[in-house]
Amino acid sequence: MPTGRVISLPNYGKVKCGKITKAESCSVEVENYFGIPFAKPPIGKLRFSAPQRAEPWAGILCEKSVKKIPLQSVGSLNLSSNFRISKNIFSQKNATEDCLYLSIYAPSIRKSHPLPVMVWFYGGSFQMGPSVKFDATALAAMNEVIVVVPNYRVGIFGFLSLGHETECKGNMGLLDQLESLKWVKENIEYFGGDKNNVTIFGESAGGISVHMHMMSPLSAGYFHKAISHSGTANMPAVFAPPVNDQQRIVTKLLESLNIKETDPSLVLHQLQNLPADQLVDYNAVQFRFGWYPTFDNHFFKTSPEMATVAKVPFLLGCNSDEGGWLMALTTPNFISGLSKQEFSHYARILLRKYDKYLMQTIDYNKALPVLIMSLYGRMMGDCIFVNRIIQTSQANSDKGVDTFLYFMSHPPLHKHARLPDHIGTDHADDIPFTFGLPFLPNSLKSGYRFSADEAKLSKNMMTFFTNFAKTGNPNKPLPLETEWPLYNSESRKHVEFTVPSIKVGSNLGQDKLHLYNKKLAKL
């Protein structure tokens, strides 16, 4: 395929490849298409509304980079000084409400058959997360898949709900994702993709989104396999507050904005006419983590607990120290460690009902404060992430869904945030490996460094994930040294991503699972 080829989309217009990229030690070039609109700009009267089909454009659309990201508030995280995240990860540059665009990474190879398609939903607690973070060059080039990365609305713009019986039902961000899947089904064949072989994958909030699409009748038929990294729909209230919490937050918002109307239509009209920056400011200062998916009687016809899960092959997993970043955000003494008293205080907050058993798991007369901190971090990660992912694996497997579970235990040489040594494999540490960052040229690595063993691990992880995208089985068509077993509630087998070689394990977290399920209250 020639450099800079032009694709004609019958119902929209023409789009030209904006950039050609390559992975190291790989001859396949990747065509990068940026800034393709998949919905109308959600501005003015379309703010807080479900996305609407994109309109045709004149001329040839050609962007050389991601130019627009969702309007969001980095301040909503209230980052502590201990959590020094890379500056380029959550930049506000080019942040705008007019954000519903997608990027396509298509290998420049001629095939007699269309290529499998993988659609990535980014994480960010549903509050932030631009698609610009994820360069899929290596994933596409080395594995002969087409990768699509759409933006979706986050924070107040993506998840404000005035009630499921109103015009503003919420879940606009999830509906944006669905609209991108509809666009893929309609258009991906013109880029060489197979509309009948689409895998959705995502991390954290993106992984939760993947699981939620498996539960929504609206999403049925728009994807055929699913991969969730560190995120499932059954995660605790930190990701999905109860309805009364949503109502409380909305009430506080309206009071802060001096909106006295009670009719939801009039409230919506006033909110649609406010400057976007004013809403972002309140989102940052007042609510921090405040806007999430909620029951809307539209995307969700029933609660996630009661929903029927689509019987598509499901691959999911988590990391050994998922709680590291949360400790950094919530714990003042994150670097130096915790005393016994501080551990007791934070554990009570985390677990709500406290059990003396937990205090007996460590010898405080011998343990260093950093080790106590490490225990707390593991507890936090286990409660919020690991436990829920194991529960989901068991539930889906029991319902006849082909389920594959992974656990990443290798602490990367270079982390996405500067964290103390007692934090192992933190939340999102697997994503650079999933996207093949070790094989990107230095200009695209964002400062990451990798060892030879880590490069091998990344290559094997990509092969597993793209095998799954191609066939629904991570072991085919390209065999690896380690065979990934199906997960079921009897054998409970999983693969462990580590170096120098990937391992097969069993009974992941079963000892803690009993404790958290039986001894402690639901979070």
Of 150, 173, 2, 179, nearest in space to 66 by CA:
150
* Residues 171/296, Cβ–Cβ less than 8 Å: yes
For residue 377, CA distances in Å to 137, 365, 367, 369 come to 34, 20, 15, 12
- What is the set of active-site residues? 204, 322, 427
Could you give the CA distance from residue 279 to residue 508 in angstroms, rounded to a whole number?
A: 43
Q: Fill in the DSSP letter of residue 39.
A: B
Tokens of 15: 């789009």
Residues contacting 501, CB < 8 A, separation 6+: 481, 482
Of 444, 157, 392, 151, nearest in space to 272 by CA:
157
* Burial letters 245-264, b for 16+ CB under 10 A, else e: ebeebbeebbeebeeeeeee
Name the 3-class secondary structure at 14.
strand
Backbone angles phi, psi at 14, to 5 degrees: -110, 145
Name the E strands within 290-348. Answer: 314-319
* Residues 115/198, Cβ–Cβ less than 8 Å: no
Name the 3-class secondary structure at 96.
strand
Find the distance separating the first CA and the last CA of the chain, reported in whole Å.
53
